[in-house]
Amino acid sequence: MINITPKMSEQDHQLIHQSKIFRAVNIEDLFHLIEECELFAIPSGQTLIHANVRNEHFYVVLTGSMKVYLDAEISEQFISLLPGDCVGELSLFDGASTSAQVVAASDSRLLRINEETLWRLVRASHSFSRNLLFVLAKRLRNDNMAIINGLRHQQELENIANVDGLTGLFNRRWMNEYFKRQISRALNDNKPLALVLADLDHFKKINDIYGHMVGDEVLFAVASVLTQQIRPTDLLARFGGEEFAMILPDTSPDEAKQIAERVRMAIASTLLQFDNDVHHEIHVTLSLGVTSLMLGDDINNLLTRADHALYKAKENGRNRVEAG
């Protein structure tokens, strides 16, 4: 419950003078306006300003502390207001409903200034006006930082959604979206485009013999080798399980087969060594299916042809490249 103090004490005046909004302000000249304001106590846990309501007051924290929740659904994130801080000015200036909820973090005393008195203080004191501008500038700077941090957080979430956690490569979700744009661009520019699907041969045996932890290390090592073999303009993704996809922009069918063959040889000639409980040396091979973009193709056509070519490579003995 809010308890309004009928009369301000000398200590109250000192606290008001020490606040940011009244810093370097001649209090004596504004005494008649300050006396119009209300001084009240608010207990810990009580809400001072509710979100999405019409606000008619500007508040100055004299003692205690407040919490400002910018999002009512995220209760663990808030901004603290300490003695000398202010709140409520933005909703007064733009006339919009409040966007945040302000709650007393501890038993607090505040000075409440109504909208009319606030404007009279602005007109009566240049120092008060300057301080109010500083308060607004800081608030806007904090809002900008909140936006920047929000965008960074959004980018982090997008990265998490688009990147395979094991290999660090892009995942199938990213590839499906990005590949659509690549296909459209290639068709519009009348340029070649190729897709390679690669699958580790007998990967289930590796998991069965050495365990899934070693299997994960094999996938990570293979991804590293593949990354070293592709060109800067090529795109590599983990397509799922032990399968990888390579998008090769501006690449003819013959060039795509050459790149796929180079990748196959690089994997086949690599000895993977792991030291867990015991030392393991593992040879792995890849089967690869290659296809190229044709007029009227979409992502499903390309994936189907590449998958059929990959299946043919498996059927014809594995550790080989087939085109489709």
Query: Which residue type is seen at 229?
Result: Q
Kind plus residue range of the DSSP H or E element containing 187:
helix 172-189
* Phi, then psi, of 307 in degrees rounded to 5: -70, -40
Catalytic residue among 242, 255, 315, 322: 242
Question: By the 8 A CB rule, do 44 and 52 touch?
Answer: no
Burial class (CB in 10 A: 0-12, 13-18, 19+), 81: buried
Query: Which residue type is seen at 8?
Result: M
Match 């593949």 to its residue by tokens.
226
Task: Measure the CA–CA gap between 89 and 114, rounded to whole angstroms.
Answer: 11
Match 């044709």 to its residue by tokens.
294
Question: By the 8 A CB rule, do 128 and 21 touch?
Answer: yes
> What would the two tokens of residue 14 be?
């000192």
Helix, strand, coil percentages (3-state) for the chain, rounded to 5, are 45, 25, 30
Q: Reply yes or no on whether 242 is catalytic.
A: yes
**Catalytic residue ranges:** 242
